Structure 1
Amino acid sequence: MALNESGPDPEDEDLERQVDEMAKKVLEYRATLPDQLKNTVASILAVQRPVFLDGSGPGTSGAPNFAAEQVGSNKWALLADGDQTFERMQLHKDKFPSNVAALPIVLKRAEECSSKIDKLDPQSRIIHSAFQKKRTS
């Protein structure tokens, strides 16, 4: 295999151009992929939240919202620490009422599942001991 001293090979130039294009694509994906992943996960989690059938939404209990006033007064102190800290606190503040509002529905579903398990006839089916209730007498 002899070296080509007359100049760069067109095939080598083409390969170098392709490598440069791939490097640009990798940099672009590294820049955009985390945001896309965050948005996708957020939308998936939003879809999986339970539907409120009784017409009440999150945070509609009628109780005064003291947390909003407190966050408003502490906003300037949090901004001094950084916008990222404030954004995290705001995100947690926004999630908390919806999680609390969904708790009765989740508990109701858990009770329904527990009652279905209790209705199973243990004599007709073999239930693994890990799934049996411990009897306290």
Structure 2
Amino acid sequence: MARAEHLETLVPEERIQGEAMDDDDDSGEEREVQELEREIKDLAQRILDSRRSMPDRLSQALASRLLALRPPLPSIAIPETAGQSQLSEPLAGADQEMLQKLHSFSDKTSQNVSAMPALLKRMNDCIARIDKLDEYNVGIHSVFKQK
């Protein structure tokens, strides 16, 4: 309003220049408002898209999490059909994992069995030393004696 009062006191030529400046300010503000409105529409559209896709993404994430937590199934023969080919792929992966665990278990067992003679020899040596200590008739504190 102060600007409008200022324009009334101006000479007609200055008034025309002042109005042109106001038009530039108004058009600049209008462009800025239009740009902001466009950005708001863009954001609203993105929000709507994310709201539409959110249930699908949540269900996919839940399904993959449950699949990862499911224990491996025992190997069973499944007849191949068009609908079941996708089902047999996770079963094949579970079978491979179970087979790897079985190989690992058998390797560890064979290593333990091969190390058993050395372990038994050490145990016999320790028992012999304990028996030798019993022969010395050394006073053993009562804390270390069995009840």
- Normalising by structure 2, what TM-score? 0.32
Report 1 or 2 for greater relative contact order, CA contacts < 8 Å, sequence distance ≥ 6.
1
Larger radius of gyration: 2
